[in-house]
């Protein structure tokens, strides 16, 4: 038979493998009951938390939910492609920080998400949820996603080393206090010329570190009108401060992993005591528990030092929103699932235990799970600590060029840093102001392009 | 079809032949089969090449939000590109990288190929195979893996390269390669050397093995030194392969995408101060992350024209050199 096959042995074997594997797949693949709802998420933490509570929802509503986890960047690109190509999209999809503007940049008819404004009002969610958390999910006055979290930021620290050094964290009320302490403990311990202990972990080129500190001062990339907001005196002050802490000879900050907030180099530096304090939103505390279990009992958290006495002691870093597809075949069921996952206290207690993430629903903060001491964090009640700061979290506003804004802000930092290394502090403020303005102008050009598209398409559309 | 003609009686066939040229039915029947065989290719090419090509021409004159919404903007996309500072960085970085590929990577690949081509003993031949595999093997893993691997190797304090430098020369422990705009391009070139030098070496090695040894021996007998033999005999003998590799390398360099994306992942593949952004990462950003396929098409055309210009110049230079 093998010899009679006209194209030779190798194609025959390949054909045989193809037939056998197809048969195996066909016989073993069981599709089961088709899912009534599809929920797509990008976070492993979220996936695990939802997988634990979904059976309860399925039982209550006699439905099947297909929970899918997709890489964040792929999810963003594929979802938008599916929306504009009118193909099937998940009934519910979680999207990440800075992406709503990407999905809503075009004319309104191209937005694939349902307008949730009326549902939010009728359920009273606009009062039950931390108000500032709707801002990042609002575009042109309409709410397109439900906030999953608040992500208040605290300072996590190596409690064992901080206590050894006799640092009283209660006295670190302002960033000035912190820098004074940091300059005392930042040291070359073994005399090899390289500093072995820094006070704080911050990325050299700005990135999440600068953005978190700017937000603490009430300045983000864009304001409520969608205009660049960082090119202001507070923005200049913060960048100058940042450069001094990360680049000057008296610097107190260290970047262990080229701006990455996790990974092997980061964990190793934490273990080695290369830095004592780090910016820690609630989600990062769980990441630390998972990535650095050897640090259990050696870590603790405290509120961020304020920029001025009595000022805000927190910021925000990261966010997730849940969108409902405009073309969902089961919109009411999808809405029920959204409420179940996001705003049902019982589900939120379980979710906190498997993610350390504070929900934006204020009434959930009284749940017993949020008052449980956490052994990794030296017995601190993590939930209660973060919940106390949650109402102070500053608002963030969406923009179609939000991600470009992030990279342009970093570019302004890098260019200013090069100037600082060459010229020192002389003229630094002016240089920073110039670079921030340049970045803002760049973003304006791009925003105007989107406006042309929106206006152009709107003027081409026939009157209803 | 020949048989059909033969079945006709001469009496009936004669007036027919007078009215129409005799070969016409034969040509029609003969011509049909090739067209049928060509049809799948023509269809596939039309759908996947000709249509996208024409669509890309048209799209470059529109501003779009994905495929659904578009506004005609004329040459505005090209005007925008030539005023966009990030595009300038992308073009500059791509040209720099291409020049480094041609003037660093290819000579190194040729040098390695000549080394591997030089031995004759049994042991040398065995070692030759071993080194050929070692030098070519980075290609087997691909640029994404190499980018991720080098991003770990180049980590300050904990990266292998930094630790090695510190141990050898007492410098480099805290050196931040991919966070320093001045070092991003050298880092990219260094990594791509490791990745591609073996690939190009294989082409050169194959070409060198076909060079006539008697010619080289004759030159040596005539008193030519090693450099003169290389310049006057070896290089002219492999010139067609050299031109091919240079063009291939130019096209590959203009299409650089995965390596910076993986190596500079903390800055979305752009690098600090756009020091690592290439034309294709820029295209990816504007077409897919920003959703403007029109502007993406315009970038695509600039890339295509740049490659054509570079290749044309290379052909001309090669032809002039050949004539001389």
Q: What are phi and psi of A258, to 5 degrees?
A: 50, 45
Residues B69-87: what's their mean pLDDT?
Answer: 92
- Tell me A195's DSSP state: -
Instruction: Tell me, rounded to whole angstroms, the distance of Cα A144 from its chain centroid.
Output: 17
CB burial string B150-188: b at 16+ within 10 A, e below: bbbbbbbbbbebbeeebeeeeebbebbbbbbbebbbebb
Interface test with A, best of B183, B273, B287, B293 (most A CBs within 10 A): B273
For B268-315, the pLDDT digits (tens) are 889 999 999 999 999 998 888 888 889 999 999 999 998 999 888 888
Least confident of A25-39, A407-421, B5-19, B251-265: B5-19
Q: Nearest Cβ partner of A259 from B64, B179, B291?
A: B179
Q: Does B65 touch chain A (CB under 8 A)?
A: yes
User: Would the pLDDT of B3 be above 50?
Assistant: no
- CA distances B299 to A328, A381, B86, B274, B293, Å, are 36, 53, 12, 17, 10
Which residues numbered 64-93 in A keep a CB inside 8 Å of some CB on B? 77, 80-81, 83-85
Of residues A317, A351, A382, the one with CA closest to residue A45 = A351
Question: B86: Cβ–Cβ under 8 A, 6 or more apart, which residues?
Answer: A442, B270, B274, B277, B282
Residues in A closer than 8 angstroms to B289, CB to CB, are 77, 102, 403
Q: Nearest Cβ partner of B65 from A106, A274, A445?
A: A106
Coil, helix or strand for A377? Answer: coil
Q: What is the token pair recorded at A385?
A: 């600590």
Q: A418, B178: Cβ pair inside 8 Å?
A: no
- Tell me A114's DSSP state: P
CA distance B71 to chain A (A): 6
Q: What is the token pair recorded at B23?
A: 């070969």
Q: B178, A456: Cβ pair inside 8 Å?
A: no
Q: How much is the ipTM here?
A: 0.82
Q: A457, B85: Cβ pair inside 8 Å?
A: no
Q: A414, B268: Cβ pair inside 8 Å?
A: no
Task: Say what the alpha-carbon torsion angle A299, A302, A307, A308 is, to the nearest 10 degrees.
Answer: -140
Of residues A52, A78, A77, the one with CA closest to residue A67 = A52
CA separation for the pair B186, B104 (Å, rounded): 12
User: Could you tell me how many CB contacts below 8 A there are between chain A and chain B?
Assistant: 113
Of residues A202, A207, A276, the one with CA closest to residue A244 = A202
The DSSP annotation for B33-79 comes to HHHHHHHHHHHHHIIIIIHHHHHHHHHTTEEEETTTEEEE-TTHHHH
| Percentage above 70 pLDDT, chain B | 90
A282 with A316: CB under 8 angstroms? no
Least confident of A175-179, B124-128, B229-233: B124-128
User: Would the pLDDT of B76 be above 70?
Assistant: yes
A358: phi > 0 → left, psi -120 to 50 → alpha, else beta; which?
A: beta
Query: Quick one: closest CA in A to B282, which residue?
Result: A404
CA separation for the pair B299, B80 (Å, rounded): 11
CA distance B264 to chain A (A): 9
Digitized pLDDT (tens) for each residue of chain A, 464 residues in all? 666 777 778 888 888 999 999 999 888 776 556 668 999 999 988 898 899 889 999 999 999 999 999 998 888 888 888 887 788 899 999 999 989 988 988 888 889 999 999 999 999 999 999 999 999 999 989 999 999 999 999 999 999 999 999 999 999 999 999 999 999 999 999 888 889 999 999 999 999 999 999 999 999 999 998 899 999 999 999 999 999 999 999 999 999 988 888 889 999 999 999 999 999 999 999 999 999 999 999 999 999 999 999 999 999 999 999 999 999 999 999 999 999 999 988 788 888 998 999 999 999 999 999 999 999 999 999 999 999 999 999 999 999 899 899 999 999 999 999 999 999 999 999 999 999 999 999 999 988 888 877 776 655 554 44
- CA distances A185 to A194, A252, B49, B235, Å, are 14, 8, 64, 62
Coil, helix or strand for A296? Answer: coil
Classify residue A170 by burial, with Cβ atoms within 10 Å: 0-12, 13-18, 19+.
exposed
Q: Are strands A92-96 and A320-324 parallel, antiparallel or unpaired?
A: antiparallel
B259 with B141: CB under 8 angstroms? no
Position B45 scores a pLDDT of 94
- When pLDDT is cut at 50, 70 and 90, the band that residue B13 belongs to is very low
Mean pLDDT of chain B: 86
Position A405 scores a pLDDT of 94
Count of CB atoms within 10 A of residue A307's CB?
19
Instruction: Tell me, rounded to whole angstroms, the distance of Cα A327 from its chain centroid.
Output: 27
Q: Does B144 touch chain A (CB under 8 A)?
A: no
Count of CB atoms within 10 A of residue B51's CB?
11
Q: Does B152 touch chain A (CB under 8 A)?
A: yes
Q: What is the token pair recorded at A25?
A: 């797949």
User: Would the pLDDT of B322 be above 80?
Assistant: no
Position A309 scores a pLDDT of 95
Q: B158, A256: Cβ pair inside 8 Å?
A: yes
pTM over 0.90: no
């Amino acid at each position: 038979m093998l010899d009679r096959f006209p194209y030779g042995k190798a194609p025959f074997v390949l054909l045989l493998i193809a037939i056998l594997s197809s048969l195996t797949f066909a016989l073993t693949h069981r599709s089961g009951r088709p899912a009534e709802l599809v929920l797509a998420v990008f976070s492993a933490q979220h996936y695990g938390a939802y997988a634990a509570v979904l059976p309860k929802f399925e039982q209550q509503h006699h439905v099947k939910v297909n929970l899918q986890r997709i890489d964040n960047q792929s999810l963003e690109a594929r979802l938008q492609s599916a929306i504009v190509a009118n193909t099937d999209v998940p009934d519910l999809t979680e999207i990440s920080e800075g992406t709503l503007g990407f999905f809503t940049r075009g004319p309104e008819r191209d937005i694939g998400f349902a307008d949730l404004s009326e549902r939010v009002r009728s359920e009273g969610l606009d009062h039950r949820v931390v108000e500032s958390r709707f801002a990042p999910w609002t575009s042109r006055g309409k709410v397109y996603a439900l906030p999953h979290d608040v992500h208040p930021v605290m300072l996590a620290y190596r409690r064992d080393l901080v206590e050894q050094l006799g640092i009283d964290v209660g006295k670190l009320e302002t960033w000035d206090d912190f820098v004074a302490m940091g300059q005392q403990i930042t040291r070359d311990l073994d005399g090899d010329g390289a500093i072995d202990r820094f006070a704080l972990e911050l990325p050299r080129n700005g990135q999440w570190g600068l953005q978190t500190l700017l937000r603490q001062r009430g300045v983000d990339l864009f304001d409520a009108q969608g205009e660049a907001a960082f090119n202001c005196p507070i923005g200049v002050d913060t960048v100058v401060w940042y450069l001094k802490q990360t680049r000057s000879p008296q610097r107190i900050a260290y970047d262990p992993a080229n701006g990455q907030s996790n990974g092997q180099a980061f964990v190793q530096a934490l273990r080695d005591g290369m830095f004592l304090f780090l910016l820690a939103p609630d989600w990062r505390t769980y990441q630390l528990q998972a990535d650095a279990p050897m640090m259990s009992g050696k870590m603790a958290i405290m509120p961020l030092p304020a920029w001025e006495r009595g000022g805000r002691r927190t910021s925000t870093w990261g966010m997730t929103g849940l969108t409902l597809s405009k073309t969902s075949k089961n919109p009411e069921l999808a809405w029920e699932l959204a409420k179940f996952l996001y705003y049902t206290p019982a589900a939120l207690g379980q979710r906190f235990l498997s993610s350390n993430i504070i929900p934006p629903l204020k009434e959930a903060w009284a749940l017993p799970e949020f008052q449980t001491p956490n052994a990794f964090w030296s017995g601190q009640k993590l939930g209660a600590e973060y919940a106390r700061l949650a109402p102070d979290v500053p608002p963030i506003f969406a923009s179609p060029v939000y991600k470009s804004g992030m990279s342009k802000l970093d570019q302004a930092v890098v260019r200013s840093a090069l100037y600082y290394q060459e010229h020192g502090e002389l003229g630094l403020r002016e240089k920073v102001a110039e670079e921030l303005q340049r970045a803002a102008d760049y973003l304006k050009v791009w925003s105007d392009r989107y406006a042309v598209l929106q206006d152009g398409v709107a003027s081409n559309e026939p009157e209803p | 079809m020949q048989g059909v003609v033969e079945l006709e009686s001469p009496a009936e066939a004669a007036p027919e032949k007078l009215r129409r040229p005799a070969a016409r039915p034969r040509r029609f029947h003969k011509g049909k089969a090739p067209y049928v065989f060509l049809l799948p290719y023509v269809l596939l090419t039309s759908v996947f090449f000709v249509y996208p090509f024409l669509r890309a021409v048209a799209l470059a004159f529109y501003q779009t939000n994905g495929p659904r919404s578009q506004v005609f903007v004329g040459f505005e996309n090209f005007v925008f590109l030539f005023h966009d500072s990030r595009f300038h960085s992308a073009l500059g970085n791509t040209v720099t990288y291409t020049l480094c590929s041609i003037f660093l990577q290819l000579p190194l690949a040729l040098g390695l190929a000549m080394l591997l081509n030089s031995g004759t003993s049994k042991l040398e031949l065995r070692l030759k195979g071993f080194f050929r595999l070692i030098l070519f093997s980075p290609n087997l893993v691909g640029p994404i893996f190499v980018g991720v691997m080098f991003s770990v190797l180049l980590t300050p304090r904990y990266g292998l390269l930094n630790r090695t430098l510190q141990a050898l020369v007492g410098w480099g422990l805290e050196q931040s390669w991919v966070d320093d705009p001045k070092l991003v391009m050298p880092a990219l070139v260094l990594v791509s050397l490791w990745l591609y030098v073996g690939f190009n070496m294989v082409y050169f090695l194959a070409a060198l093995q076909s060079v006539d040894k008697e010619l080289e021996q004759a030159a040596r007998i005539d008193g030519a030194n090693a450099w003169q033999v290389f310049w006057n005999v070896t290089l002219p003998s492999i010139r067609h392969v050299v031109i091919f590799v240079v063009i291939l390398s130019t096209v590959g360099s203009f299409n650089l995408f995965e390596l910076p994306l993986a190596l500079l992942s903390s800055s979305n593949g752009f690098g600090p101060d756009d020091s690592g952004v290439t034309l294709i990462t820029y295209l990816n950003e504007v077409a897919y992350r920003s959703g403007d396929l029109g502007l993406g098409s315009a970038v695509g055309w600039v890339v295509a024209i740049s490659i054509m210009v570079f290749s044309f110049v290379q052909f001309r230079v090669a032809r002039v050199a050949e004539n001389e």
